[in-house]
Amino acid sequence: MTSDFQKCSRGEIWLLDWNPRRGSEQGGFRPGLIIQSDLGNHAEGARTTVVVPLTTQGRAYAFYVPIPKGKENGLPADSWANATQIFTVDKSRLTKRLGKATPVQMKALAEALSAVLDF
């Protein structure tokens, strides 16, 4: 039987359980933006996905991409995608689908990730 978590797609924003955390990692329940390709997300038996955490502690850093609150993304407050914290997580950490980032936001995030990884 296919879990709803296996149906996650690139660009979606999910509420994740980030615990337990270590050091400067994000912790608690907070949104994350799925950045893994749908080829990986939808592969049979795929139990993990790749995400970046969202934070409401906005900063004008080159690696923070603004994601303003909105009906489409389900965010209750203006947030920023933190491209410096890239995580592979088990899909069991995905607790609720909130919404989706816009294509413009995903392009900005791709540019930030490229800069972080020097690709």
Contact 58, 39 (CB under 8 A): no
Over residues 112-116, the mean pLDDT reads: 95
* Among 14, 61, 59, 16, CA closest to 33: 14
Query: pTM of the full predicted structure?
Result: 0.89
The pLDDT score that the predictor gives to residue 1 is 37
Q: What is the tens place of the pLDDT at every residue in 51-68?
A: 999 999 877 788 999 999
* Mean pLDDT of all residues in 32-59: 93
**Domain parsing of the chain, residue ranges:** 4-117
Mean pLDDT of all residues in 80-91: 94
Residue 87, classified by CB atoms within 10 Å of its CB into exposed (0-12), middle (13-18) or buried (19+), is middle
Q: Which of 111, 84, 64, 79 is nearest to 24 (CA)?
A: 84
CA distance 59 to 37: 27
**Rounded CA gap, 81 and 14, in Å?**
12
Mean pLDDT of 34-53: 94
What's the CATH class of domain 4-117?
Answer: mainly beta
